[in-house]
Structure 1
């Protein structure tokens, strides 16, 4: 059979850049190279870690929340992805409030725990700082394609290609663990051994999943070696990672958040390292 020819007058549509099947690759924030938010979040974290006051973290968090609607992330997705940060924040605040440096008025003592005005202030500042660093670190990487991130790490940051490609393969294989677990459960249920002993069943399935993962890793390593991964010499890349205007703008916005928050704290007289 011959391929159908386009109708007369129909435009000749070339496949867009991306996957071989012509589908567009899932990129990050409007096509920004993922290395840009990575560097920006690290710079923002450095700015906030150097400050121990409440105003710096509160201003940074307020700016981030104000800019959050620009990302157009569904609320349910945002809540699910930021849930680890939301759980870590109160735990961190409680530990700092109980065991932070005591200063000011004492509220109560509970063994080695001393709750004072200073420890409560430090706990509030720490909680806001964790939120201010953790929120962009999560939301800016929700739509990031691991392949794009690996391209940027190897080409722009000059990380070892063997390490980057191995980590990329591991991330890709992680998506198969849920399907493997489901298939193992269905296989055991078909054999009639999945109805009793949940703890024992979970342990045996976990061991089987580990064996399956090791076998797949061995097969993947052999396949990658046969295709030249890890060979000496200069490596070529299918796609060129570029760090241009949008990437610099992303880094500038994140650095600007840190600089503005520190400036406000300095002007208010509350900044302290």
Structure 2
């Protein structure tokens, strides 16, 4: 575990059950997915920025974790501004490119919407341990244990796949077969990693079966996953953020229900 991960787990949010984080993220995202307007998204984003202070993330780690979101949001808004539905005054029109009042308003709403939906998901799940999440999904949400444990085992293998890729690359370089033909080299390494992954997956499945992971009996858990007051408080905060954002949007007259009649 890296130093940044250790620091991330010192915040108050880090000790909350991952199922509550998942529920809070869903509650915040749901109304923002159902509407495209800048008021609800910007209000939700402002409230989220206050909550980010309690996540236990330093500014450096915050930017390291969320920089893809900050790149995706303006790029998405730019695409909407250039090719979105035109309405009102048209400023630029060239072939399929059309910039108008409507497309610019839509681009602004999309920009805030992407940030408001993606940022809390990233920040909340920075402190999630995969094993804790699996315990919560199996014990609290009551998902099938075989599915949860299989997904957890697969997730744990991602780091090994990265190490295998580096080992294969170094081995090929040592044999002098990695100096030219980048596409052919990539295809060869990908096939080798696929074969290695299948072999490892088969061994892992056999080992888990031998240890009784597929037994048709009620499973016991080494660690109990609890859902208490802190978890309910986080879920309530997520619901409150959504309610305030929707109320502000309706009051401002900008609510735009995307599933409604056009």
TM over 0.5, yes or no? yes
Which residue is equivalent to 1:142?
126
Kindly report which structure 2 residues correspond to 1:4-83, keeping only aligned pairs within 5 A, or say none. Answer: 29-83=13-67
Kindly report which structure 2 residues correspond to 1:160-179, keeping only aligned pairs within 5 A, or say none. Answer: 160-179=144-163
In structure 2, the CA distance between the partners of 1:237 and 1:86, relative to structure 1 (3 Å rule), is same
Answer yes or no: is 1:127 the counterpart of 2:114: no
5+ residue gaps in structure 1?
1-24
For 2:170 and 2:107, how far apart are their aligned partners in 1? 48
Answer yes or no: is 1:209 the counterpart of 2:193: yes
Could you tell me how far 1:102 is from its partner in structure 2?
Answer: 1.9
Structure (1 or 2) with the larger CA radius of gyration: 1
For 2:150 and 2:235, how far apart are their aligned partners in 1? 27
Kindly report which structure 2 residues correspond to 1:92-241, keeping only aligned pairs within 5 A, or say none. Answer: 92-241=76-225
**TM-score, length-scaled by structure 1:** 0.84
SS of alignment partner, residue 235 of structure 1: coil
SS of alignment partner, residue 115 of structure 1: strand
In structure 2, the CA distance between the partners of 1:208 and 1:115, relative to structure 1 (3 Å rule), is same
Higher fraction of helix: 2
For 2:186 and 2:56, how far apart are their aligned partners in 1? 39
SS of alignment partner, residue 141 of structure 1: helix
Pairs aligned (count): 249
Q: Which moved more, 1:64-73 or 1:133-142?
A: 64-73
For 2:178 and 2:254, how far apart are their aligned partners in 1? 61
Q: CA RMSD in A?
A: 2.1
SS of alignment partner, residue 70 of structure 1: coil
CA contact (8 A) 1:96 1:123 kept: yes
* 1:143-195 deviation line (CA, Å, top 9, x unaligned): 21000001111111111211111110110000112211222222223333333
For 2:203 and 2:223, how far apart are their aligned partners in 1? 26
Which residue is equivalent to 1:245?
229
CA contact (8 A) 2:12 2:54 kept: no
For 2:195 and 2:64, how far apart are their aligned partners in 1? 30
Q: Which moved more, 1:242-251 or 1:225-234?
A: 225-234
Could you tell me how far 1:27 is from its partner in structure 2?
Answer: 9.8
